[in-house]
Amino acid sequence: MPRYKFACTGCAVQVIVSRSLSDSNDIGCEECGEPMKKALTVPHINAQTRPEHTHVGEVTEQFIEDSRVALEKQKEDVKEINYEPS
């Protein structure tokens, strides 16, 4: 069952709750009784989704390098057509 982090709108207490997607998100704070909202969290990366013998840092470095190369190509393409902004 997925776990979600909720934060209180009144006292800022945070809790992690196991909830089904079909469950209601109406949760009250146990400390002050105010409503709680889902907090934004960083997604969990499952080690099984990565290629074998690859560290997250290596994947990130490759993504950054690929993005840099693509951006440089786009810049060259713009120069070739003599783009003039209006």
pLDDT in tens, 9-64: 889 889 988 888 788 878 889 889 899 988 887 766 655 555 565 676 777 888 88
Q: What pLDDT is stored for residue 53 in this prediction?
A: 54
Number of domains comprising the chain: 2
Domain check: are 11 and 32 in the same one? yes
44 within some domain: no
Q: What pLDDT is stored for residue 8 in this prediction?
A: 92
Q: Lay out the sheet containing 35-38: strands in order across.
A: 14-18, 3-8, 35-38, 27-28
16 within some domain: yes
Question: CA separation (Å) from 29 to 6, 38, 72?
Answer: 9, 12, 50
| Range(s) of the domain holding residue 11 | 3-38
56 within some domain: yes
If one compares 4 and 80, the residue with the highest pLDDT of the two is 4
45 within some domain: no
Q: What pLDDT is stored for residue 42 in this prediction?
A: 73
Q: What pLDDT is stored for residue 69 in this prediction?
A: 92
